[in-house]
Amino acid sequence: MSGKSDRPRLELRRFGSELLRDQRLNKGTAFSIRERQALGLHGLLPPVVSTPEMQENRILQNFTRQPTDLDRYIQLMDVQDRNEKLFYRVLCNNLDQMMPIVYTPTVGLACEKYGLIFRRPRGLFITIQDKGHIADMLASWPERNVKAIVVTDGERILGLGDLGSFGMGIPVGKLALYTAIAGVPPSQCLPIVLDVGTNNQSLLKDDFYIGLKKPRDRSDNYDEFIDEFMQAVVSTYGQDCLIQFEDFGNHNAFRFLEKYRNKYCTFNDDIQGTASVAVAGIMASLRITQTELKDNKFVFQGAGEASLGIASLLVMAMVEQGVSLEEARSKMWLVDSRGLVCKDRASGGINHEKAAFAHQHEHIKNLADVINKIKPTAIIGAAAVAGAFTEDIIKSMASFNKRPIIFALSNPTSKAECTAEQAYKLTNGKCVFASGSPFPSYTLQDGSMLHPGQGNNSYIFPGVALSVILFKIHHVSDKIFLVAAKALADLVTKDNLKEGRVYPPLKDVREVSVKIAVRVAEHAYATKAASLYPEPEDKETFVRSNMYSYEYESFEPQFYDWPSNL
């Protein structure tokens, strides 16, 4: 039979075959018999009809058979490329297993090997050679309702340095967590690399490097390029599109945060997100040490984005509790590559951001000597100097503190200042420990087990982003990150603390995001920062009702609104 009467049926079957190639709609073997018959998929799939649970189990079986974490990363990215709903089902239901693969620490290795494992583009690669045409490039992205962008220029990827366009793994991974942890629909998320070259000589010689093979542009042209990008985002997606800066070099990160924070809906996760999760861990730690925040003294191994962000947010928290700004800053001591950051330091290297924490003190070059002289209650590592917290340093902390706080926050694991085992063993289990990457539990001599907390930014940035997007918060203040830190600290239970945890178990992070989103929304309405009106009366119900679901859509005629031309 042929002619006009066949056309709708042929179009419907063509539409059906396209579903198998569309990762947003593809269900694989979960298409029902009726759907297969209606869509012309009968015979294109094996005869078995799988439940989503069976598909998830198949993925997990293959996942455990992979020989390395990088192979597991590649497998998960392949799933994301062909069946988005199944990818997020696996992620959401198995966060403990999946987080170290799609995020730290494995994402760092994935970035280093990005040229070898590259399969298909996930996001936009905008080069400095595209200056003058950025809005056109954004317009080429197929999704129009973009609400969140994570952008990097690849200069400081985790603790691995300048990886240029290989840094795309970071925006891709961060936005996967936007969806898995906070329920932001993937169609609203856009990962972007701004490729301005790289100074990594090994990449410039790498046949598989996918970025511009030219030195990193540090001229005024770079600033003009970033300005154009920010303006193009607003003109394309609107003023309330969230722009999260990720892994820019220290100098540019601070500059851009100050330059854009009051003009655009933006934040820097390395500065503000890291600060928020660290401060939350400190606040929870105080319930173990039985001390007040103002009674603590902090030494930071590092004086870059993370350390300065944490120190600044701790100061804000102290000031909020009635401590003077000057006294609060006096509790913060920074150690950079030249030693203690102090006034009149002969070796210099103290920029505007560091200067706020440069105290009148003799210059000390060695971290161990700084700690023995200052005698802090807490040491925080965030400079990606592997092994910086030596045996002597850890033992010293235990010698003058009943419960020393030791946060080894650098990522990936290879850059950690110390391991959980070293911290617990050398302090006889006295320390309160947290790390940036996951470490296994540690059993003390008395048989009790301690579970190290992972100070993972994923506790903070997805929930904050969800609130910003849903409640139309146009400017993301530092106070919002302090509100998020308090909300996270409040979610740490007494049982968590007994186990040594200063964060909720990672498997609960989706629920954590909901609670943070609600607390941020309450603050935003109280300070007139939210622009969604009328104000939702039950904010938690509103948040939950707008979160992405990984349940499959039905294409059976009674459930699906078929295109009118079919």
Please list the active-site residues.
103, 174
The sign of the torsion formed by the CA atoms of 103, 108, 109, 112 equals positive
Alpha carbon 333 to its chain's center = 26
> What is the rounded distance in angstroms from the CA atom of residue 36 to the CA atom of residue 19?
11
> What is the rounded distance in angstroms from the CA atom of residue 311 to the CA atom of residue 272?
11
List Cα–Cα distances, 239 to 171, 223, 481, in angstroms: 21, 20, 21
Q: Helix, strand or coil for residue 333?
A: strand
Q: What are the E-state strand segments in 352-445?
A: 378-381, 405-408, 432-435, 442-443
List Cα–Cα distances, 520 to 219, 264, 510, in angstroms: 38, 18, 15
Judged on CB neighbours under 10 Å (0-12, 13-18, 19+), 68 is exposed
Judged on CB neighbours under 10 Å (0-12, 13-18, 19+), 546 is middle
Please tell me the number of Cα atoms within 13 Å of 183 on its side-chain side.
Answer: 20
Alpha carbon 137 to its chain's center = 25
- Looking at the DSSP bridge assignments, the partners of residue 189 are 148
List Cα–Cα distances, 449 to 409, 421, 422, 446, in angstroms: 21, 11, 15, 9
> What is the rounded distance in angstroms from the CA atom of residue 46 to the CA atom of residue 504?
42
Looking up tokens 């655009």, which residue turns up? 264
Alpha carbon 544 to its chain's center = 21
The sign of the torsion formed by the CA atoms of 268, 272, 277, 278 equals positive
Q: Helix, strand or coil for residue 266?
A: strand
> What is the rounded distance in angstroms from the CA atom of residue 539 to the CA atom of residue 299?
39
> What is the rounded distance in angstroms from the CA atom of residue 167 to the CA atom of residue 156?
9
- Looking at the DSSP bridge assignments, the partners of residue 443 are 449
Nearest to 17 by CA among 5, 26, 7: 26
Which residues have CB under 8 Å from 320's CB, separation 6+? 482
Which residues have CB under 8 Å from 85's CB, separation 6+? 24, 27, 52, 550, 551, 552
CB atoms within 10 A of CB 483: 23
Helix (H), strand (E) counts: the chain: 25, 14
